Amino acid sequence: MQDVKTKSESASAEPIRLSFVDGDRQVVVHAEDEDRFLMTCEDAARACKRHMSVVEWKNEFTRLLAHLRKWIEPRKNLVEACYAAFQDGELIIFMLPNSHTFDLGLATEIAELEYSLPAEFSECNCEVKQVPAASTASLTGFMNPESSVLVYGGE
């Protein structure tokens, strides 16, 4: 087994190549905290792919939240608050109208927003809902404000 190299020694070395075609060939991964992971090349390549997918998703989620804030800004007279919540593994965006009742005009704009999102945010599939709630307490029938991301407004 080869010795572990320092960061400076590793930086100038050729990249280590892992491939699905290496299948069951074993690889040992040394983590910064001294943990070691023994796995097949195929499993290591899958782990790298999953990690990159998570990083891409987090970046896209951050961009989605900024997009929602920007979308709300010219409609701030219609939208009191906006939350992002995860329910049963799905991302749901909740828009609370200023009127505290269902706003048909806002519903039309929300439908257009929801229709446009997949083109720019393909990793963050979501549903956008209007929730006419008079207070944070009345939101609990739809979602948990404590575990949701406040995108805009709030009390």
For residues 126 and 113, the answer to whether their CB atoms sit within 8 Å is no
In a domain, 112, yes or no: yes
Bridge partners of residue 152, in order along the sequence:
82
pTM higher than 0.85 for the full model? Answer: no
pLDDT tens by residue, the chain, 155 residues: 455 555 555 566 788 776 667 778 888 878 788 888 788 877 777 777 777 788 899 999 999 999 999 999 999 999 999 999 998 889 999 999 999 899 999 999 999 999 999 999 988 899 999 998 766 677 778 888 888 999 999 75
Residue 70, pLDDT score: 98
Burial of 27 (0-12, 13-18, 19+ CB in 10 A): middle
In a domain, 85, yes or no: yes
In a domain, 43, yes or no: no
Phi, psi of 44 (to 5 degrees): -65, -40
Instruction: Give the H or E element holding residue 11.
Output: helix 7-11
In a domain, 37, yes or no: no
Number of domains in the chain: 1
Task: Tell me which residue range forms the domain holding 123.
Answer: 77-153
The phi-psi region of residue 100 (left if phi > 0; otherwise alpha if psi is between -120 and 50; otherwise beta) is: left
